Amino acid sequence: MTMNSKTALLVGATGLIGGHCLRFLLEGDYYGKVVVLARRKLPLEHKKLEQHVIDFDALARNADLVRADDIFCCLGTTRKKTASKEAYRSVDFTYPFEIARLGLANGAEHYAIVSALGANSKSRIFYNRTKGEVEKAVSELGFKGVYIFRPSLLTGERQEERKWEEVGGNFAKKLSFLMVGPMKRFRPITAEAVAFAMAQTTRKGSLGVHIFESEEIRKIYESRQ
């Protein structure tokens, strides 16, 4: 299989990281086709882009669409945007896991997922525990390579308004110079940096499970040519 005959599948393309990830996947020459699964169609046309509008609560009915060499999962939400913990868990655990499971069954080899700083399946904090649980679940499915990205506070232009995240991001950026030593891991990071690291790392196809903390993500981005 030649490089440009490979297919990437992206979920979460309408989000902050997902939008940048889509751009990198389309601009590069590694993938000949980029499939996006979303709740709504993106206002974008590209010769490599194939879009499907689906109901994520009925993924099994769309199983044949979850087909690619490499899968990029940028799904995520906030407790403010979900009515309950169950609804939140659907977006941050159930959907990413089902996409992974169906994709693997259809021949996918690599899976990249956005997690979060502090993800831990044993955490007492619901958010961190959910992120940790989905990391563990997809890592045990049997992909040739799993790539987990744990960014700190994200910065960048969002399509939807998240006022307090924006305020927090701006405040954190001003204090970044104080975050040295062990505190470096809490420095805010751009969504573009996370997306670039995802695209760059996944195409290398390293075997096994790899976790990239925020500062390592930053280094990958800053070392780009």
pLDDT tens-digit readout, 34-59:
999 999 999 999 999 999 999 999 99
Residue 131 annotated among the catalytic residues of the structure:
yes
Give pLDDT, residue 173: 47
Question: What predicted TM-score, i.e. pTM, was given to this entire model?
Answer: 0.87
Residues 88, 95, 111, 131: which is the catalytic one? 131
Give pLDDT, residue 162: 46
Residue 95 annotated among the catalytic residues of the structure:
no
Q: Locate the domains of the chain by residue range.
A: 3-222
Distance (Å, whole) CA 72 – CA 96: 10
Q: Any idea how long the chain is?
A: 225
Among 76-85, 168-177, 208-217, top mean pLDDT goes to 208-217
Q: What are residue 9's DSSP bridge partners?
A: 35, 71
DSSP one-letter string for 82-141: SSSHHHHHIIIIIHHHHHHHHHHHTT--EEEEE--TT--TT-SSHHHHHHHHHHHHHHTS
pLDDT in tens, 62-112: 999 999 999 999 998 765 666 688 888 999 999 999 999 999 999 999 999
Single-letter amino acid, residue 202: T
Residues 6, 127, 173, 184: which is the catalytic one? 127
Give pLDDT, residue 165: 45
Contact call for residues 136 and 104 (beta carbons, < 8 A): no
Distance (Å, whole) CA 217 – CA 115: 12
The correct CATH number of 3-222 out of 3.30.360.10, 3.30.160.110, 1.10.357.10, 3.40.50.720 is 3.40.50.720
pLDDT in tens, 126-171: 999 999 999 999 999 999 999 999 999 999 765 444 454 444 444 4
Q: What are the tokens at 128?
A: 């961190």
